[in-house]
């Protein structure tokens, strides 16, 4: 399919054919493609839980309020944010960018560019993603307001703002996954109706991990889609300047 065909094919499927099984390796390949989604500062503060075990699927279905798209799902993928891993991910990115500089930059610029990456991933990212009952975010916001008097700056850097950034990043990977599934003729449904505490318990997630989205997977039944797709008229949402 062309990209336009893929986007038009993708629908939120509410009822899957329970007699058709999915190839787990193909779903895994789609999850791998999801890791290529754009993400803030390439921090990749996400994890993907591919659920194929029938017993766990049944537990997740209950956690997802037993909606039909969960009860009839052949597999599920749970998209999880891991802001708590910011230090280890920043360290990995610093190692990567250091190697990029050594391989792709003139030798006379190595020291300056490596220093820049050390400042970014060694200082800036830990400052942005650190949390302490909102206090760190308050001071980040205060500093941003002061800087804003003299030049353009980022204001969305409170602790709640950074949480939004991490979830936006994870949602981009979920969308990439769903489009990849559509390309191979598999169907999905992103579900936000779930008990996050139960889902975290089922997956044995640490306290600071958060559920971004639960995506059910399968092959649509003829009645698996709720009618025609509706979108607000394009001219109502399209603004050009």
Q: Is the pLDDT of residue 211 over 90?
A: yes
Determine the angle formed by the axes of helices 159-183 and 24-34, rounding to 10 degrees.
140
**Both 210 and 145 in a single domain?**
no
How many structural domains comprise the chain? Answer: 2
**Both 30 and 127 in a single domain?**
no
- Confidence band, pLDDT 50/70/90 cuts, at residue 226: confident
Q: Is the pLDDT of residue 132 over 90?
A: no
Answer whether residue 36 is part of any domain: yes
**Both 77 and 93 in a single domain?**
no
**Both 102 and 148 in a single domain?**
yes
**Both 180 and 73 in a single domain?**
yes
Q: What percent of the chain has pLDDT over 70?
A: 100
Please say which residue of 134, 160, 186 terminates a domain.
160
Answer whether residue 35 is part of any domain: yes
Q: What CATH number is associated with residue 215?
A: 3.40.109.10
**Both 47 and 94 in a single domain?**
no
Answer whether residue 165 is part of any domain: no
Rounded mean pLDDT of 108-137? 94
**Both 70 and 35 in a single domain?**
yes
Q: For 1-41, what is each residue's pLDDT tens digit?
A: 999 999 999 999 999 999 999 999 999 999 999 999 999 99
**Both 216 and 110 in a single domain?**
no
Q: Is the pLDDT of residue 164 over 90?
A: yes
Give the angle subtended at the CA of 25 by the CAs of 23 and 30, to the nearest 5°: 100
**Both 142 and 199 in a single domain?**
no
Rounded mean pLDDT of 184-189? 98
Answer whether residue 167 is part of any domain: no
* The pLDDT of residue 32: 98
**Both 156 and 212 in a single domain?**
no
Answer whether residue 129 is part of any domain: yes
Please say which residue of 116, 139, 160 terminates a domain.
160
- Confidence band, pLDDT 50/70/90 cuts, at residue 227: confident
Rounded mean pLDDT of 67-74? 97
**Both 104 and 73 in a single domain?**
no
CA–CA distances in Å: residue 200 to residues 50, 60, 194: 14, 10, 11
Closest by CA to 128, choosing from 157, 148, 164, 104, is 157
Calculate the dihedral angle through the C-alpha atoms of 69, 74, 79, 80, rounding to the nearest 10 degrees: 110
- Look up the domain containing 37 and give its range: 3-83+172-237
Sort 10 into a burial class: Cβ within 10 Å, 0-12 / 13-18 / 19+: middle
**Both 154 and 181 in a single domain?**
no
Answer whether residue 166 is part of any domain: no
* The pLDDT of residue 15: 97
């Amino acid at each position: 399919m062309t990209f336009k065909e893929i986007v038009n094919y993708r629908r939120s499927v509410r009822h899957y054919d329970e007699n058709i099984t999915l190839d787990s390796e193909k779903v895994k390949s789609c999850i791998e493609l999801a890791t290529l989604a754009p993400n803030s500062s390439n921090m990749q503060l996400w994890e993907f839980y591919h659920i194929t075990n029938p017993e766990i699927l049944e537990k997740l279905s209950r956690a997802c309020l037993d909606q039909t798209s969960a009860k009839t799902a052949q597999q599920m993928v749970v998209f999880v944010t891991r802001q708590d891993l910011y230090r280890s991910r920043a360290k990995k990115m610093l190692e990567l960018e250091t190697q990029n500089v050594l391989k792709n930059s003139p030798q006379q610029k190595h020291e300056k560019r490596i220093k820049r990456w050390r400042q970014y991933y060694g200082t800036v990212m830990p400052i942005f993603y650190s949390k302490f009952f909102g206090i760190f975010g308050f001071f980040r916001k205060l500093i941003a307001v002061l800087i804003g008097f003299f030049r353009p700056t980022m204001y969305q850097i409170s602790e709640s703002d950074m949480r939004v950034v991490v979830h936006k990043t994870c949602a981009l990977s979920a969308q990439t996954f769903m489009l990849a599934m559509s390309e191979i003729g598999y169907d999905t449904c992103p579900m936000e109706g779930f008990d996050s505490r139960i889902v975290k318990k089922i997956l044995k997630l640490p306290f600071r991990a958060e559920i971004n989205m639960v995506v059910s997977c399968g092959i649509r039944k003829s009645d698996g889609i709720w009618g025609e797709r509706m979108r607000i008229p394009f001219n109502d949402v399209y603004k050009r300047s």
